[in-house]
Chain A
Amino acid sequence: AQSVTQPDIHITVSEGASLELRCNYSYGATPYLFWYVQSPGQGLQLLLKYFSGDTLVQGIKGFEAEFKRSQSSFNLRKPSVHWSDAAEYFCAVGAGGGSNYKLTFGKGTLLTVNP
């Protein structure tokens, strides 16, 4: 069964600083990978996704993520954080081979942005 680890429970950065949120997955075959963002009391908004091809994927709000098969990682990055980026971020893996339906999520990383 697949699993996702987000090692950082809480990260604090200053506005304008760069950001990297870590995500490690465990899956025996080619994974489908996603990053979602959740504001307090809200549902999940898709930031970006990786299915195949270019390992550096661009998403909304200036976010990008890089798939590294050798490290089983899919880290999320942003060069300059804005105060509105404060939220909880979830990495998820969907199994390939016709069973992408069941997403497995990490426990999330809470991002605080200092002015």
Chain B
Amino acid sequence: DTGVSQDPRHKITKRGQNVTFRCDPISEHNRLYWYRQTLGQGPEFLTYFQNEAQLEKSRLLSDRFSAERPKGSFSTLEIQRTEQGDSAMYLCASSLALWEQETQYFGPGTRLLVL
């Protein structure tokens, strides 16, 4: 069990560019989550997958954001036409949801800075 990994750890981009982040969950975890954390705040839920199905998206997730988990393993989060307000830490978490008492384990995060 190597834990949840995220790549890259840091990303600096210019406004209007597209960026893509990757998350590799703990193996055999069937649920994968994306959260966003801005300075001085707690993480906020963005979206989650059960296996390859995206089951819920927060209203925080504008049309410029898209997430995929094509084979039910790793996931990608893409932000198109980045804006300065997208600057944040993007956290990925995974869990093994066999029943409702699940525990989410977080990765180290990807810190995005949009100039």
Contacts and interface: CB of A to CB of B under 8 A. Distances in A.
A112 B113 CA distance: 27
Contacts of A49: 103
Interface residues of B, number: 29
Interface stretch (B12-20, B39-47, B64-72, B78-86): B39-47
Contact of A96 (B31, B41, B100): B100
A100 B101 contact: yes
Contacts of B104: 46, 103
A97 interface: yes
B100 A97 contact: yes
A103 B45 contact: yes
A77 interface: no
Contacts, number: 65
Interface in B95-115: 95, 97, 100-109, 111
Interface string A55-93: 000000000000000000000000000000000001010
A44 B106 contact: yes
B60 to A, nearest CB: 12
A45 B106 contact: yes
Interface string A34-54: 101000011111100101100
Given A45-B106, A92-B42, A101 B91 contact: no
Contacts of A107: 40-42
A9 to B, nearest CB: 8
Interface string B28-55: 0001010100001111110010000001
